[in-house]
Amino acid sequence: MKVNTLKSPPVNQNGYHKNSLTKERIGTLFIYPIDYTPDDCLSCDGYSLQITDYEDLYKVIGTKFNQSGDASGTFRVPDYNVTKRFLQPGSGAGTQIAAGLPNITGTFVTRGNTFSGCVYKSDYFDAGQAYWGNVNNDAYYRKYIDASKNSSLYGNSTTVQPPSQLVHICIKYK
């Protein structure tokens, strides 16, 4: 059976009607394992562009990536290659999420040898009177907190750093 006229727009492979804002995949991100930007793409380096020069891309991303003080008549492409932020799927695309780690905790009992987590007792120092009634006073031992004693993930970076590999990200504009 041949269809002569369609009453609805074409449907893509996911069963969705083609969105008129994303014609020809404008706004699509391309990821390359090398520093390469195709002719129909822009590197995601936070460039400020004239709306009149890139109207189709502007219709898709708008001013979502503008910084305060950007002049009217311009918009920016995302700055993924500059900020090196990890991209995370989810609703609210374009929202930036601050770095964070779970709290690091540990315990110790002042007059005992009970330590847990990243807390440990180290060298003895003489603070005047180190013994009470011939019993070693743990208050005269230095107590330290070192998260790397609890997990080797700590201390290997100055930021939150999951295992990763750098790529080059581009956005299609035509």
Residue 42's closest CA among 57, 52, 59?
57
Q: 81-135, pLDDT tens digit by residue?
A: 898 888 887 788 778 877 777 667 666 666 656 677 777 776 555 555 545 455 5
- Residue 94 to residue 32: CA distance in whole angstroms: 20
- Residue 89 to residue 97: CA distance in whole angstroms: 12
Same domain, 77 and 117: no
The 10 Å Cβ neighbour count of residue 58 is: 19
Number of domains in the chain: 2
Report if residue 3 sits inside a domain.
no
Same domain, 63 and 29: yes
Q: Decide: helix, strand or coil at residue 41.
A: strand
With 0.85 as the threshold, say if the pTM is over it.
no
Report if residue 5 sits inside a domain.
no
Structure-token pair, residue 42: 């822009």
Same domain, 114 and 143: yes
∠ CA 170-72-24 to the nearest 5 degrees?
35
Residue 49 CA, distance from chain mean position: 25
Report if residue 116 sits inside a domain.
yes
State the pLDDT confidence band at 71, using cuts at 50, 70 and 90.
confident
Report if residue 128 sits inside a domain.
yes
Q: 10-38, pLDDT tens digit by residue?
A: 555 555 555 555 567 899 999 999 999 99
The 10 Å Cβ neighbour count of residue 141 is: 18
Same domain, 28 and 68: yes
Amino acid at 161: Q
Report if residue 90 sits inside a domain.
no
Q: What is the DSSP letter of 70?
A: P
Q: Provide the residue range defining the domain that includes 139.
A: 106-149
